[in-house]
A and B are shown apart, each in its own frame.
Chain A
Amino acid sequence: MENIKITRRGFLKTAVAGAGAFSLTSGLLDFQKWVHASAGAAVTSVPTICNGCGNRCGIFAHVKNGRLWKIEGNPDANGNLGVICPKGHGYLHDLYNPNRLKGPLKRVGDKFEPISWEEAYKEIAQKMNLILLANGPQSIFWVNYPQTNHAYALRLMHALGSPHYFTHGSTCFTARNAGWATTVGELPSNDLSHSRYILIVGRNPAGGIDLGQVKRIAEAKEKGAKLVVVDPRHSETAILADEWLPIKPGTDLAFLLGMINVFVKEGLYDGRFVREKTVGFEQLEEEIVNYPPEWAEKVCEIPARTIVQIAREMAKAKPKALIHRGYHGAFGSQYLNSFQTARALAIANSLLGNINREGGIYFPQSAQLGELQPDHPAPDLPEMGKADGTGVPGRYPLGSYGDGIAHAIPELALRGELKAGFVYHNNPLRTNPNPKRVIAGYKKLDLLVVIDTVLSETASIAHYVLPESFYLERTEAIDTKHSGKRAQVSLQQQAVKPLFDTRPGTQIIIELAKHLGVGKYFNFDIEEANRLRLRSLGVTLENLKKKGVLFVGEKWKEGCGKLNTPSGKVEIHSSTLEKLDFPSIPRWEEPLVSPDPKDPQSFRLLHGKQAIHTHAMTANQPYLMAISQRYDMIRLWMNRERGVRLGLKDGDWVQIKSMVGEGKIRVRLTGGIHPSCVWLPSGYGIFSKHLKTAFDMGLSYNDFLPTYFDPTVGHAMSSEIVVQVTKA
């Protein structure tokens, strides 16, 4: 095998020759034929970034006889450091998935009919312009799981005068982000590889996979670091841990308050840091006396002596000790108390004096991409606020304006406030809570345009479906995702020519803009835009194309300067929260709902990722679904003793029922989960009949989750579910 790194121009020549020698329509899709035909063939290697999840790892795509063969990790990429997860290896096969969209579609009655791109754009523009005229720009929206080109989607919405750009954030991480931002001014990162003591609360980087983090944890452990995992379930990260602390779900805040109590009472905190870099320690001292570890034990079921022991061990290792910044689990968007849990976690870290310290919590270097101005002036920002209430006092004042509250879209549609929308690389019908409500909302829209690679649940009810080229078929916007101790820029570029009548996401955005009459803001193509945005960073697009990932800017320096908070310091006491009438010092808050401890059928429903799937996006990938089935992974985890009490054996079918949904699934009885909860792997429960591999496999936690908005940021509170589980 030869690893030839060649220029894009050279590569395209090879790809075309390969395609010519090997018929696109039959040969490339017949895998076995290709394996046989391509033995010994020359290999080209194209640096790009993976799209198997939001981490966008740096990869080299290896192409043999015009067909994608395999990918290898780019060792320069800070986010994956040369390794690749199962999703990355498996998702590339979706390029050849027979369920892919092969051209634009238009809804006619209950069916889809093929339509040309030009006709589709014309009809969408006509309908959209009528809606804009009748209802104003605030009646339209764009929602996406952010891609590298999200800036152009935002630009399109602004050009049309609408503030309604949304991400999936409100169902994922907005409580965590707001908790950190309110306390230290921004979302930091974890310096795992240099840490001597790593405490992880709810996050599972080995399952909701983050390759760079796991690699760094493994490195730290080689050097003798201790790893403690707090999680109601024995997660994949818990396998690596020195200690697994199975907490009662929804009480992570109590655990953290107990730890802070020990830090304060025993004087274990970094006194100098607290004096010089924080505000509100005195108020904390007053409040925290209410939460001794003995109290915490009663609430969270982690023994008081363990809480004391961990607090002392962490204090001894400080500042090279950290509590992981978290992601989705425990306090991303899970409970009514998630925002305050994130605050308490940020404060506990601060007491260790680890803010922007080696081996602690640090502010990553981030590449500031240049603007398209003056060559291409940006549209004005819309004047009206978001209808979902993000950032509006009295509604969701701490909500992230940039993310919005995506799971409010169905409600706003049902109220008639939103009339038309674009859904891009996102599948709200499957990934938002309470699907019946989501379906009703999205169906009420006068115009729904979905941009996707397959007929997802959401695409299945769209008026128009615009097929995006698969990630390996398209060059996209430059990205800054891999930032860490030094900033990086990366580039997703075409490795094979599109198999079908599909187009890159950015091209679709630009073409939509032109048809919608706002083309003056989009007089560029992706090549020019990438070049302009790199201009100020001292690297060339040519070099980036060759390498895939490039370092830019200065190296990270240790030390906590002026923070991006009102006081410029760590806000243990937050004046912002005080003004808004939220607790300005974290204090214990109960979860919204709790299972009935006397009812043997009553459980809290938790969920989490398996390393082999990304939301609902990869369930239909045969290589990945084969793993789910071979290892019987589409099961509900239940504590063994509680299962036995319900008359269940491992593998039995059960019925789950909540106030909004019900379904049947098989159980995995295990000692690896807290008795008060059951756990569903996320990503299953596919109900689009067009996704033939995954259709009707398993359940999604969203089927059981009512539509909730927490009062601080409006997140979905997606673990506030009580279910009844009975033998089916």
Chain B
Amino acid sequence: MARYGMVIDETKCVGCHACRVACQNLNGLAEKEAYNHLEEREYGAFPNFSREFLPVQCQHCDNPPCVKVCPTRASVKLKNGVVLVEKSKCIGCKYCIAACPYNVRIIKKAGYIEKCRFCIDFIEKGEKPACMTTCMTGVRMFGDLDDPNSEISQYIIKHRLKQFKAELNTKPRIYYKKA
């Protein structure tokens, strides 16, 4: 069985936010609800200046703090690597929001918690995540991390990619390419 993961090449992100709105549309989110966000960072001073955008979404951790703290087992880790919230079980206690170090969970109007689902319903029909397919610079790569020959696995090895906040031992399934 495939166990999914993603690569985000932050050197390619120009901060256009297409991924945010593509995701909102696909998932039927309201205008202020978003499953991904950008963190803008500035380096240096004029004229030796640069800036970058860091795209952040649920990291689908293999050691997910959100799952551990959930009192109703609404947050679950699936065998395919994806972390999901079962909204029928969610009581909206927000423990998971407090536990997640990536600030990627939102409270839906109906009271339950949601977040990036890796577009899993669409992946299973052979499609790619909406944040990936809309991107003009090709920031994201998606695939099977369990297959050592997959394009994404090879890419991670070749570029020795690391995870975001790996020191927290959350074991994210998203790897970042930095400048």
State the A residues within 8 Å of B (CB).
1, 31-32, 34-35, 69-73, 82-86, 88-90, 92-93, 206-207, 209, 211, 214-215, 218, 234, 236-237, 239-240, 244, 246, 611-612, 622-627, 630-631, 639-641, 670-675
Tell whether, in the assembled complex, residue A670 and residue B42 are in contact, meaning their CB atoms are under 8 Å apart: yes
* Count of interface residues, chain B, beta-carbon cutoff 8 Å: 41
The CA of A239 and the CA of B135, in the complex, are separated in Å by: 15
Q: Which residue of B lies closest to A71 (CB)?
A: B25
Q: Which residues of A contact B134 (CB under 8 A)?
A: 73, 83-85, 89
Tell whether, in the assembled complex, residue B46 and residue A236 are in contact, meaning their CB atoms are under 8 Å apart: no
Query: Is B151 part of the contact surface with A, judged by Cβ < 8 Å?
Result: no
- Whether A214 touches B50, Cβ cut-off 8 Å, given contacts A1-B122, A89-B18, A240-B12, is no
Tell whether, in the assembled complex, residue A215 and residue B49 are in contact, meaning their CB atoms are under 8 Å apart: no
Least Cβ–Cβ distance between A182 and chain B, in angstroms: 33
* Residues 1-29 of chain B, each 1 if its beta carbon lies under 8 Å from chain A, else 0: 00000000000111111101110111010
Tell whether, in the assembled complex, residue A83 and residue B45 are in contact, meaning their CB atoms are under 8 Å apart: no
CB contact list, B56-115 vs A, under 8 A: 109
Tell whether, in the assembled complex, residue B49 and residue A672 are in contact, meaning their CB atoms are under 8 Å apart: yes
| Interface locus among B30-38, B142-150, B152-160, B165-173 | B30-38
Least Cβ–Cβ distance between A634 and chain B, in angstroms: 14
The CA of A674 and the CA of B37, in the complex, are separated in Å by: 28
Tell whether, in the assembled complex, residue A83 and residue B136 are in contact, meaning their CB atoms are under 8 Å apart: yes
Least Cβ–Cβ distance between A610 and chain B, in angstroms: 9
Q: Which residues of B contact A631 (CB under 8 A)?
A: 17, 38, 40
Q: Which residue of B lies closest to A31 (CB)?
A: B30
The CA of A639 and the CA of B109, in the complex, are separated in Å by: 40
Q: Which residues of B contact A31 (CB under 8 A)?
A: 28, 30
The CA of A31 and the CA of B109, in the complex, are separated in Å by: 12
- Whether A623 touches B24, Cβ cut-off 8 Å, given contacts A214-B136, A214-B137, is yes
Least Cβ–Cβ distance between A644 and chain B, in angstroms: 11
Q: Which residues of B contact A671 (CB under 8 A)?
A: 42, 44-46, 49
Tell whether, in the assembled complex, residue B53 and residue A623 are in contact, meaning their CB atoms are under 8 Å apart: no
Tell whether, in the assembled complex, residue B138 and residue A218 are in contact, meaning their CB atoms are under 8 Å apart: yes
Q: Which residue of A lies closest to B130 (CB)?
A: A70
Q: Which residues of B contact A625 (CB under 8 A)?
A: 31
Q: Which residue of A lies closest to B29 (CB)?
A: A35
A-B pairs with beta carbons under 8 Å apart, 20 shown: A32-B109, A73-B134, A84-B134, A85-B134, A86-B17, A88-B18, A89-B25, A90-B21, A93-B31, A206-B16, A218-B137, A239-B50, A611-B15, A611-B18, A623-B21, A630-B34, A631-B38, A640-B46, A672-B49, A675-B46
Tell whether, in the assembled complex, residue B14 and residue A240 are in contact, meaning their CB atoms are under 8 Å apart: yes
Tell whether, in the assembled complex, residue A673 and residue B46 are in contact, meaning their CB atoms are under 8 Å apart: yes
Least Cβ–Cβ distance between A288 and chain B, in angstroms: 27
Tell whether, in the assembled complex, residue A83 and residue B125 are in contact, meaning their CB atoms are under 8 Å apart: no
Q: Which residue of A lies closest to B137 (CB)?
A: A218
The CA of A356 and the CA of B79, in the complex, are separated in Å by: 55
Q: Which residue of B lies closest to A215 (CB)?
A: B136
Contact residue among A69, A73, A612, A639 (Cβ-Cβ distance under 8 Å from B17): A612
Q: Which residues of A contact B30 (CB under 8 A)?
A: 31-32
Tell whether, in the assembled complex, residue A86 and residue B20 are in contact, meaning their CB atoms are under 8 Å apart: yes
Q: Which residues of B contact A626 (CB under 8 A)?
A: 31-32
Interface contacts beyond A88-B18, A246-B49: sample of 8 additional A-B pairs, CB < 8 Å, sorted by A: A1-B122, A31-B30, A206-B136, A611-B17, A624-B21, A631-B40, A640-B45, A675-B46
Contact residue among A89, A236, A244, A612 (Cβ-Cβ distance under 8 Å from B50): A244
The CA of A31 and the CA of B24, in the complex, are separated in Å by: 12
Q: Which residue of A lies closest to B135 (CB)?
A: A83
Contact residue among A92, A218, A612, A670 (Cβ-Cβ distance under 8 Å from B16): A612
Tell whether, in the assembled complex, residue A214 and residue B18 are in contact, meaning their CB atoms are under 8 Å apart: no
- Whether A239 touches B53, Cβ cut-off 8 Å, given contacts A211-B136, A611-B15, is yes
The CA of A73 and the CA of B136, in the complex, are separated in Å by: 11
Contact residue among B18, B44, B47 (Cβ-Cβ distance under 8 Å from A84): B18
Tell whether, in the assembled complex, residue B22 and residue A84 are in contact, meaning their CB atoms are under 8 Å apart: yes
- Whether A246 touches B137, Cβ cut-off 8 Å, given contacts A89-B25, A236-B15, A611-B14, is no
The CA of A86 and the CA of B135, in the complex, are separated in Å by: 10
Least Cβ–Cβ distance between A4 and chain B, in angstroms: 14
Q: Which residues of B contact A641 (CB under 8 A)?
A: 45-46
Least Cβ–Cβ distance between B52 and chain A, in angstroms: 7
The CA of A234 and the CA of B34, in the complex, are separated in Å by: 27
Which 5 pairs across A and B sit closest by C-beta, in order of nearness?
A89-B21, A611-B16, A35-B28, A70-B25, A671-B49
Query: Is B163 part of the contact surface with A, judged by Cβ < 8 Å?
Result: no
Tell whether, in the assembled complex, residue B49 and residue A234 are in contact, meaning their CB atoms are under 8 Å apart: yes
Q: Which residues of B contact A84 (CB under 8 A)?
A: 18, 22, 134
Q: Which residues of B contact A630 (CB under 8 A)?
A: 32, 34, 37
Contact residue among B14, B18, B21, B122 (Cβ-Cβ distance under 8 Å from A239): B14
Q: Which residue of A lies closest to B47 (CB)?
A: A246
Q: Which residues of B contact A82 (CB under 8 A)?
A: 133
The CA of A70 and the CA of B29, in the complex, are separated in Å by: 11
Least Cβ–Cβ distance between B170 and chain A, in angstroms: 25
Least Cβ–Cβ distance between B11 and chain A, in angstroms: 8
Contact residue among A209, A611, A624, A674 (Cβ-Cβ distance under 8 Å from B46): A674
Tell whether, in the assembled complex, residue B133 and residue A627 are in contact, meaning their CB atoms are under 8 Å apart: no
CB contact list, B111-125 vs A, under 8 A: 122, 125
The CA of A626 and the CA of B33, in the complex, are separated in Å by: 9
The CA of A287 and the CA of B149, in the complex, are separated in Å by: 61
Tell whether, in the assembled complex, residue B38 and residue A85 are in contact, meaning their CB atoms are under 8 Å apart: no
The CA of A86 and the CA of B138, in the complex, are separated in Å by: 15
Least Cβ–Cβ distance between B51 and chain A, in angstroms: 6
Q: Which residues of B contact A90 (CB under 8 A)?
A: 21
Q: Which residues of B contact A640 (CB under 8 A)?
A: 45-46
The CA of A71 and the CA of B134, in the complex, are separated in Å by: 10
Q: Which residues of A contact B45 (CB under 8 A)?
A: 640-641, 671
Least Cβ–Cβ distance between B34 and chain A, in angstroms: 8
Q: Which residue of B lies closest to A241 (CB)?
A: B50
Q: Which residues of B contact A206 (CB under 8 A)?
A: 14, 16, 136-137
The CA of A639 and the CA of B13, in the complex, are separated in Å by: 23
Tell whether, in the assembled complex, residue A70 and residue B26 are in contact, meaning their CB atoms are under 8 Å apart: yes
Q: Which residues of A contact B12 (CB under 8 A)?
A: 218, 240
Q: Which residue of A lies closest to B40 (CB)?
A: A631
The CA of A218 and the CA of B9, in the complex, are separated in Å by: 12
Least Cβ–Cβ distance between A74 and chain B, in angstroms: 12
Q: Which residues of B contact A670 (CB under 8 A)?
A: 42, 49
Least Cβ–Cβ distance between B56 and chain A, in angstroms: 13
Tell whether, in the assembled complex, residue B46 and residue A639 are in contact, meaning their CB atoms are under 8 Å apart: yes
The CA of A630 and the CA of B133, in the complex, are separated in Å by: 24
The CA of A675 and the CA of B45, in the complex, are separated in Å by: 11
- Whether A246 touches B46, Cβ cut-off 8 Å, given contacts A83-B134, A672-B51, is yes
Contact residue among A85, A239, A627 (Cβ-Cβ distance under 8 Å from B51): A239
Least Cβ–Cβ distance between A66 and chain B, in angstroms: 15
Q: Which residues of A contact B14 (CB under 8 A)?
A: 206-207, 214, 236-237, 239-240, 611
Q: Which residues of B contact A211 (CB under 8 A)?
A: 136
Contact residue among A218, A234, A237, A622 (Cβ-Cβ distance under 8 Å from B31): A622
Least Cβ–Cβ distance between B144 and chain A, in angstroms: 22
Least Cβ–Cβ distance between B39 and chain A, in angstroms: 10
Q: Which residues of B contact A32 (CB under 8 A)?
A: 30, 109
Q: Which residue of B lies closest to A611 (CB)?
A: B16
The CA of A552 and the CA of B12, in the complex, are separated in Å by: 33
